[in-house]
Amino acid sequence: MELRHLLYFVTCAKEKSISRAATKLRISQPGISRQLKNLENELGVELFIRGPRGLSLTCKGQLALEFAEEILSRAEQMKETLQPSRIEMGDVLRVGYISPVLSGFLAEGMRAFKEIHQDITIQIEEMTPAKQEVALKERRIDLALLGDPRDKLSKAFVIEKILRVPMAVVVPDNHLLALRKSVDLNELIGEPFVSLNEEGFPGRPKLLAEISKLAGLKIKVNIKANGLSEVMGLVAGGAGVAILPEDMKKISQPGVTFIKMSKPRHYLDSTAVWNADQPKRGLLDLVKMLKKASKKPI
């Protein structure tokens, strides 16, 4: 159970509609429905009565709502309490990131940065690439660490490549190909695929289409996920196979196997993006440290 499951549940309960909740949260309806079902399965109860007029809470659902609202409220209080509010914002670098970079080069780069900038605090927040774009535009973060950015971002932001990562095939660990060291993509003809939503990961569906075209393979996407960890969870659960950056294998996920994609070879750039005007003090040094850390073996 994760906080986002509780957020989806509370929003659906207040909106009394999955479609209105999806619009408010900017998430697909199937994605919310799936997460609600997962939450009900984990709790072992039905939370909603689904009728022609929308959703209504069951008795257990009403009790769960009270707990969920309390947990979300306490989580927000913890975030506000632990943030270094005494530090002037000029001495804080706010960084958005996607999960692979934390175990890849972000943590190492932060340590190196702290050795020369002890007076600057780095705050990090995991976000989808789409949310990082919005946060940059609204100046809620100073630096975004994401995959290949959309072309239009180069007009408003500085984009610098940190690392080039090969794409890999991800299969359940009981798959017939799981013991292979490498695989041609056309060996997966007929397999259902798990992909990422355009809403959270702009350009990723297009990237999958480009890779399939290079392989001469028509990929059938069985389900779209809202995040990278969710993709791996779906693969582990047998929903299909996926194509992800190879550095995702650093993130622990039981039940999946990463296989080198020998044909076609394709890469994803891990990039640093920031506003084109005067960068915050220390930002360029941090980018330099991240590039240096990315070249070290992990």
DSSP 8-state code for residue 290: H
143-146 and 267-275 as β-strands: parallel, antiparallel, unpaired?
Answer: antiparallel
For position 197, what pLDDT does the model report? 87
Which part of the chain is CATH 1.10.10.10? 3-82
DSSP 8-state code for residue 105: I
If we measure between CA atoms, which residue out of 54, 53, 36, 33 comes closest to residue 45? 36
Task: Answer whether CATH 1.10.10.10 is correct for domain 3-82.
Answer: yes
Q: Which CATH architecture has domain 89-163+269-294?
A: 3-Layer(aba) Sandwich (3.40)
Q: Distance (Å, rounded) from C-alpha 43 to C-alpha 34?
A: 14
| Digit-coded pLDDT (tens) for 7-65 | 999 999 988 888 888 888 888 888 888 888 889 999 999 999 888 878 888 888 888 89
For position 32, what pLDDT does the model report? 87
| Digit-coded pLDDT (tens) for 74-83 | 888 777 766 6
Average pLDDT, the chain: 87
Percentage of the residues of the chain whose pLDDT score is greater than 90 = 34
If we measure between CA atoms, which residue out of 143, 135, 158, 159 comes closest to residue 95? 143
For position 260, what pLDDT does the model report? 95
User: Do residues 47 and 21 touch, judged by C-beta distance below 8 A?
Assistant: no
DSSP track, 123-142:
EEEE--HHHHHHHHHTTS-S
Side chain identity at residue 232, one-letter code: M
For position 82, what pLDDT does the model report? 67
Residue 83 has φ and ψ, to the nearest 5°, of -65, 140
Q: Confidence class of residue 145 from pLDDT cuts 50, 70 and 90?
A: very high
pTM: 0.64
Residue 200 has φ and ψ, to the nearest 5°, of -95, -30
Radius of gyration of the chain (CA): 21
Q: Confidence class of residue 151 from pLDDT cuts 50, 70 and 90?
A: low
Pick the CATH number of 166-267 from 3.40.190.10, 3.40.50.970, 3.30.1330.10, 3.30.70.120: 3.40.190.10
Greatest extent of the chain over all pairs of C-alpha atoms, in Å:
62
User: Do residues 93 and 280 touch, judged by C-beta distance below 8 A?
Assistant: yes
DSSP track, 66-98:
HHHHHHHHHHHHHHHHHS-TTS-GGGEEEEEE-
If we measure between CA atoms, which residue out of 73, 79, 99 comes closest to residue 6? 73
Average pLDDT over residues 93-113: 89
Which part of the chain is CATH 3.40.190.10? 89-163+269-294, 166-267
Tokens of 91: 């001495």
Q: Distance (Å, rounded) from C-alpha 193 to C-alpha 240?
A: 5
| Digit-coded pLDDT (tens) for 164-223 | 889 999 999 999 999 999 999 989 998 999 999 888 888 888 888 889 888 888 888 989
Cα dihedral 160, 165, 169, 171 in deg (nearest 10):
-90
Q: Distance (Å, rounded) from C-alpha 123 to C-alpha 161?
A: 21
